A and B are shown apart, each in its own frame.
Chain A
């Protein structure tokens, strides 16, 4: 369903989701070309969750994210060029090249820590909520993490404390392995947790829980609106599981899928190898939104094409900017150890 927002905002959602998609597809190309080292994680398939959920945040709210942070940062309005420069380890990166893809952080947008340790931010976000409550700022803390983080003790300890102390924190668990619970169903990678559904774990600590289709921008929008209203109203924690389906391009044993994504795939998936078509038809949040915008006459196909053209330009400029940015001076490695 479409989020209940103005047409202008719907177009903005579409633009942001497409930006995340095309940005990360450009990143894949850069990595394959050897432009940065190490491994990285993409947010492809989860764009509706990040863009919808983070649209509710206000100045002063705290956000904590993970190794899969690019989508969250772009959803909040990070500059694609500076974000990409950070991922490439360049001087103009948000973290001066010290964080890279795992730790890209934009404090000015409310991000306090991007941790590459699974579950690492759950206590931190809980602590920011403690600070918010202690200082009575009326803000909230948002913690974005994957289903795997629920396997960490840090999650259980934090849920217990947040529940006992009624801390204003939104735990948004992005379960990107909807059809991959447990190894019994043959999924390549998925969480390995005895509780099923995943929400049984936070429910055991008496956190109010919600489950939502994370590929549906409107559904996410509705659930997050309700959860955040409750947090701001009575101050206690809320837990949302947003379910998405893993992008077939993210697995080396899957067929090669075409990149960059073209909005024309919303109506014709024949260019995609057959084994991967189901994802583009049923589970791609960007295409789902585009189809709905057109079906419900919120945008024409021509407008969607215009949006795509604009976003491609933005991504091209970001790539140019990042590649033109010099590497940091080596001796700056010794700075920023202490405040």
Chain B
């Protein structure tokens, strides 16, 4: 199987999506963020001058515009670049798009995709480092997608472009240079199918987005300590493949959840609650969360590292769960 960099796979998907469906319009041009690869997007822009457009700095206006265009027959994919900027468009995303189908009694469909780059990026500080996926998961009506590999970004982006529901495509800058296998004729990856990214019998780690890759690194290291970690990637939060997660939890009976949202009411909190409700009797150790600590994100590198779901915090959590040690609760 050929190997591609994540950014190559993502661009290939965008090209294929644009070629396959004339109703797809791209709004905004930072699908690769401010990475050194960003100029590669310009080639796509040149190929489709009428369908790749640069809106004014008006997130509320152009996200609403994309939603309205979707209601009227297009399939816009909007790039908001930094995920924190989706807050500027919040009323349109969560109060218009998410509610449209429901409050119209099934009449108005909104096939729009919002692409955002979330998480700790190294120096993003408080206003450019958000992981809004848990807040968005709290708004029924939105599909929430978190790719973590070159293969997944392509397959999930293709599904996002074809779904009839408003979809948040939550990507991560730190994944862009990752290399991995991507089949030539890869089909779209359906939403709601988790993937076991690494098999293991001792501890289940449920991780999302870039945290999947970080957890895989930690898992490799812990294998030498005799702890075999199974890494499960939900890939989409809405819809959620809970069964695959529970199958793993029932096997290992120990679970750590790794996600970049702030801890309180975050993705890990919801997954932990569901696992607790469905399988408390299966667990041999308390569920452990490794997330961004509940403080605004600081700028200085050692401060950012301290509050992040770092490799060392992930490894510590896995070791504790594996040994059934008493929890050390993180508090700022």
Which A residues contact B (CB, under 8 angstroms)?
62, 64, 93-99, 103, 105-107, 112-113, 115, 117, 120-132, 134-135, 141, 153-154, 157-158, 160-161, 164, 335-339
Q: How far is the CB of B175 from chain A (nearest CB, A)?
A: 27
* Interface presence of B64 (CB below 8 A): yes
Q: Let me know if B105 and A123 touch, CB within 8 A.
A: no
Stretch at the interface among B35-43, B53-61, B120-128: B53-61
Q: Are A123 and B64 in contact (CB under 8 A)?
A: yes
B96 proximal to A (CB < 8 A): yes
Any chain A CB within 8 A of the CB of B62? yes
Question: B92: CB under 8 A from chain A?
Answer: yes
Proximity string of chain B (158-186) to chain A, C-beta cutoff 8 Å, 1 when within and 0 when not: 00000111000000000000000000000
Q: How many pairs of A and B residues are in contact by the CB < 8 Å rule?
A: 156
A144 vs chain B, min Cβ distance (A) = 14
Q: Complex formed: what's the CA distance from A117 to B67 in Å?
A: 15
25 residue pairs A–B, Cβ–Cβ below 8 Å: A95-B103, A95-B107, A99-B104, A105-B104, A107-B108, A113-B100, A117-B95, A124-B67, A124-B68, A124-B71, A127-B68, A127-B71, A127-B72, A128-B72, A130-B65, A130-B74, A132-B72, A157-B56, A157-B58, A157-B61, A160-B58, A160-B61, A338-B141, A338-B239, A339-B163
Task: Given A112-B68, A154-B61, answer yes or no on A99-B103 (Cβ-Cβ < 8 Å).
Answer: yes
B105 touches A113 (CB 8 A): no
Whether A339 and B164, one on each chain, are in contact in the complex, defined by CB atoms closer than 8 angstroms, is yes
Chain A residue numbers with a CB within 8 Å of B324 are none
- Residues in A whose Cβ lies below 8 Å from that of B66: 127
Query: Which residues of the other chain, B, contact A154 by a CB distance below 8 angstroms?
Result: 60-61, 64, 91-92
- Asked if B107 and A123 make an inter-chain contact with CB atoms under 8 angstroms apart, the answer reads no
Q: Which residue of A lies closest to B75 (CB)?
A: A131
Contact B101 A126 (CB under 8 A): no
Q: How far is the CA of A322 from the CA of B323 in the complex (A)?
A: 64
Q: Contacts A95-B104, A123-B61, A124-B71 known; A160 to B56 CB distance under 8 Å?
A: yes
Decide if B106 touches A122 in the complex (CB within 8 Å): no
Interface positions of B from 118 to 174, Cβ below 8 Å from A: 140-141, 143, 163-165
Question: Is A127 in contact with B69, judged by CB distance below 8 angstroms?
Answer: yes
**Complex Cα spacing A129 to B140, Å:** 27
A62 adjacent to B61 (CB under 8 Å): no
Q: Is the CB of A123 within 8 A of B103?
A: no
- The CA-CA distance from A94 to B269 in the complex, in Å, is 38
In the complex, the chain B residue whose C-beta lies closest to that of A328 is B105
Q: Are A124 and B95 in contact (CB under 8 A)?
A: no
In the assembled complex, the CB of B278 is this many whole angstroms from the nearest CB of chain A, namely 19
Contact A335 B106 (CB under 8 A): yes
Minimum Cβ distance to chain A for residue B289 (Å): 27
Do A99 and B68 touch (CB < 8 A)? no
CA distance A96 to B63 in the complex (A): 28
Task: Kindly list 6 other residue pairs between chains A and B, CB separation below 8 angstroms, not including A126-B61, A160-B58.
Answer: A95-B107, A107-B107, A113-B100, A123-B60, A123-B61, A141-B68
- The residue of chain A having its C-beta at the shortest distance from the C-beta of B74 within the complex is A131
Interfacial chain B residues near A336, Cβ < 8 Å: 101-102, 105-106
User: Contact at B165–A339, with CB atoms within 8 Å?
Assistant: yes
A contact residues around B102 at 8 Å (CB): 98, 336-337
**Judging by beta carbons under 8 Å apart, are B74 and A134 in contact?**
yes
Q: How far is the CA of A115 from the CA of B62 in the complex (A)?
A: 17
A128 interface neighbour in B69, B100, B106, B163, Cβ under 8 Å: B69
CA distance A132 to B25 in the complex (A): 13
Find out whether the CB atom of A158 lies under 8 angstroms from the CB atom of B71. Answer: no
Return chain B residues, CB-CB under 8 Å to A122.
64
A130 to B75, CA, bound (A): 12
Task: Give CA–CA (A125, B64) in the complex, Å.
Answer: 9
A112 contact from B71, B106, B141, Cβ within 8 A: B71
- Give the residue of B60, B63, B100, B109 whose beta carbon is less than 8 angstroms from that of A153: B60
Nearest neighbor of A335 in chain B, beta-carbon distance: B106
Cβ-defined partner of A131 (8 Å) among B69, B91, B104, B163 = B69
Q: Which B residue sits closest to A159, measured CB to CB?
A: B61
| B296 interface residue per 8 A CB criterion | no
**Which residues from 62 to 96 on chain B have a C-beta closer than 8 Å to any C-beta of chain A?**
62-74, 76, 91-92, 95-96
Nearest opposing residue in chain A for B51, CB measure: A134
Q: How far is the CA of A157 from the CA of B62 in the complex (A)?
A: 8
Residue from B74, B103, B163, B165 having most chain A Cβ neighbours under 10 A: B103
Cα–Cα, bound, A95→B105 (Å): 4
Question: By the criterion CB–CB under 8 Å, are B140 and A337 in contact?
Answer: yes
Q: In the complex, which residues of chain A have a beta carbon less than 8 angstroms from the beta carbon of B62?
A: 123, 157, 161
Q: Which residues of B contact A96 (CB under 8 A)?
A: 105-106
Question: Is B50 located at the chain interface by the 8 A CB criterion?
Answer: yes
CA distance A134 to B68 in the complex (A): 13
Minimum C-beta distance from B321 to chain A (A): 34
Bound-state CA distance A130–B68 (Å) is 8
Which residues of chain A are near B106, meaning CB under 8 Å?
Answer: 96, 335-336, 339
> A24–B100 Cα gap in the complex (Å)?
25
Partner of A123, one of B63, B100, B140: B63
In the complex, chain A residues whose CB is within 8 Å of the CB of B140: 337
CA distance A335 to B91 in the complex (A): 23
Whether A64 and B68, one on each chain, are in contact in the complex, defined by CB atoms closer than 8 angstroms, is yes
Within the assembled complex, what's the spacing in Å between the Cα atoms of A95 and B101?
10
Nearest B-chain residue to A333, judged by Cβ:
B102
CB pair B143–A158 under 8 Å, yes or no, is no
Cβ of A337 and Cβ of B71 under 8 Å apart?
A: no
